[in-house]
Structure 1
């Protein structure tokens, strides 16, 4: 196939999907985006997907062939961008750079997957799964992802590439928590000693949590959003903060989980409530190494530039597939940069070769 000649169709489909905004928390917007993905997929693949709605979230699945699936192509169509972002970050292609909310993470990857499957002479054995809640931790899709991946020879994750087009062969595990403090209100001027100050207790707990890091092992424990109190002249009766944990190793993830749940109040009369747990297990290098070698060989055979690999801190749905023992290769999507940032972009010139690489890799995995 002449992939350069196919580029206009690829760009048309990316534009159609990017211009349908789909913030994860807006179920109606995600449903509308699923309609667009379904329309694009039916146009290119000749068959409509199965629509799977879990807890109001719209997911799409194409299964090809009557036998068991061998290759899972894993995508998501939700984004971090709120409705109205197109007004300030409109879709555009200027000097070979494509922009628009969610273009890099990961709507271009969704379209690339559809076009790659459409190139296969026989896609039997392929499942294409496009979920709608990855950006918020995949609460409604995790079970679906793991069920579709089970028994597959490979899960290929269409998240955007790392810098320079590198594939992502390691990802840290992710754990998310909220630490709530329950204190006692009092007048801040008349009798503050009668209160139990939630803000002060939060300060103690933030310092305790940050002490759980292990830089040598790559474990990060980061307090993020925090709130406390009601008015400026009242001893705060309640407050909470969120904690983001990233760990390369499962034993580190479990160590931090146990430590956070073992937090105890520093102030007399204060009470703590800890919510949360590990969200994604680590994607270890051994889950990706053989697939990366295979992809590198395919790249060399078709004249694609040599592939590179990198370990990253961010999680993806590939953590789930690797976590159940399925060989997983991530970062096969668009080349560009700026995920979740104002400068999010895709390099147009890389799209044809990247899509060709995916199609060839899937075809080879199906023949194995």
Structure 2
């Protein structure tokens, strides 16, 4: 896709695939002028966090909404948290970012969810390891990375299938080291996230579970929301000051990201091309990672489940002193003004 063709592509997609009666009234109506037209945004070159950002940038969807967004790409959501902790106003991250910053009396809110990323985290058995029943995980050596809540998947799996998760031998190492260790059979399994799960499966490992699926079942079992092993979402984080002083700018941002969602649904190959170019990820792992996400710019009960799950974990590891409240941590007003159909959860009055 050449640069010259992007504007035409955007027009065709938005006049064709986006021309659903329910969508056009909210996205097509005249909008208030953005308070600022140019600003920087902390992005991450990762399809879990960056699909909408990449598509909107590649196809000029920000410009269509009257804004010019310059991305300061970070390597992870953790880096975004650090930079926003120093006062930067807007970026992508997990609900933990908002929870941790709010616990430090920094007025940061979740503006919208971007994707349910629960199935991008999981457990892969090392090549040659077979398990007939989850209880056989007891005694196995598991590579994992401290500082995230993925071990809770093993806790919930143990509760479901009646085994003792404390008998799993957890060995701390970074994900790349874990892939190598599992491939060499120095450990029996890897608890991590994409693309590291994919790397190990290409070496002969077998995907055992993800946050929302039991892959050892035949066929793989999709867990209902209440029974998921892990709750995880990517979100937009923004300061309260921006919500109050730049609401039109943020609404323009949301409209562009909603359009990016629609491009992904209407013409996935075009969206994947944008992600490959902007996020700089090879096609094969990109396809695997994108497939594991459920993209939608939304504020939903599922997002709140992730918020509560993350808050409970953060309290349990003493990262925050008391549970966080989604009623004050998630700001619904601007997304509701852009398109109320994208808001299916609202704070208590």
Normalised by the length of structure 2, the TM-score is 0.26
Normalised by the length of structure 1, the TM-score is 0.25
Q: Which structure has greater helix proportion?
A: 2
Q: Which structure has greater strand proportion?
A: 1
Larger radius of gyration: 1
Q: Which structure is richer in relative contact order (CA contacts within 8 A, separation 6 or more)?
A: 2
